[in-house]
Amino acid sequence: MKRILVTGAGGQIGVELVPYLRSRYGAENVLATARKPLSGPVGEGGPFALLDVRDGNAFAALAQSFGADSILHLAGVLSAKGESDPRASWDINVVGSTTALEVARECGAAFFFPSSIAAFGPSTPSKNTPQDTIQRPTTIYGVAKVTLELLCDYYHRKFGLDTRGLRFPGLISYEALPGGGTTDYAVHIYYDAVRKGRYTSFIAAGTYMDMMYMPDALAAVVQLMEADPSKLVHRNAFNISAMSFDPEEIAGSIRKFLPGFILDYNVDPLRQSIAESWPDSLDCTAAREEWGFAPEYDLDRMTEDMLARVREKEGLPPA
């Protein structure tokens, strides 16, 4: 990667990935795009342009004028939010992503697409979920992810496009609160632990989901995009995960640093039903063997760092 265009730069991944890429490749070589103006490091720390990813002409002109050799396509509507307006979700997540693939093909740019554990469903084996397995998701978000996994494979076979992708688990970050995802509780819990000393979970006890700390996710994106293509058997939709836990386990980790922390529940039926349709744990063997995936953060190390970072962000002294 030398000239990188990032869509959806204002989302949970983009707000951290863009500065991370700029620190590695030079600020002038990473063009951040979003539908709305952005302030801070993403909008002001390097090139920025407004872009609706469904506008193929504008997208192509922007990629060509920038000389993009890589398109990291992050724009999309998240799982729970997508269920409130499935048609709009499909329009952005599938139509917009297909447009992005076409632009990458026209420009000869490598293409990265973030899939998700939402691409699985209740008929998928839930324990140690295989890399290659049945995928029958029950959300429009998941249906869109499976569609794009297949499209990325198709564009690679049909046109020789260098497509690569990751099935992200829940991503935990202190930089930006997520917006409408089923795994959001695993971010909110740290903020409320610092602010209030307690948290009310919308996900039930005993509900396991795969998770990853954002620094490991950012490193995985770059590592995959820089991997030797001759070693990539799967290319798209690699299972990756660093940990699997339920709300009680993350609360237990927080209590190691904040002993008085209280967890209670007010379960959201929609997000709970989505969570129950997803795997409990993923088999990440393909990612390890094909491009050396190796996350650094386990639950307790992540918790210690998250609590410290949230306290700093909230203007509080170290604990």
* Catalytic positions: 141
Q: How many CA atoms lie within 13 A of 72 on its CB side?
A: 26
Rounded to the nearest 10 degrees, the angle between the axes of helix 56-66 and helix 96-107 is: 40
| SS3 state of residue 215 | helix
User: In this structure, which amino acid lies at residue 211?
Assistant: M
* Cβ(286)–Cβ(231) below 8 Å: no
Q: From residue 308, give the alpha-carbon distance in Å to each of 203, 254, 304.
A: 24, 11, 6
In degrees and rounded to multiples of 5, residue 212 shows phi and psi of -155, 145
Residue 167: exposure state from Cβ atoms within 10 A (0-12, 13-18, ≥19): buried
Q: How many CA atoms lie within 13 A of 177 on its CB side?
A: 10
> Angle at Cα 236 formed by Cα 212 and Cα 140, nearest 5°?
75
User: In this structure, which amino acid lies at residue 24?
Assistant: R
Give the separation between CA 198 and CA 251, rounded to whole angstroms: 9
Give the separation between CA 225 and CA 110, rounded to whole angstroms: 8
Taking alpha carbons only, the member of 64, 54, 66, 65 closest to residue 8 is 54
* Cβ(242)–Cβ(212) below 8 Å: yes
Give the separation between CA 31 and CA 84, rounded to whole angstroms: 31
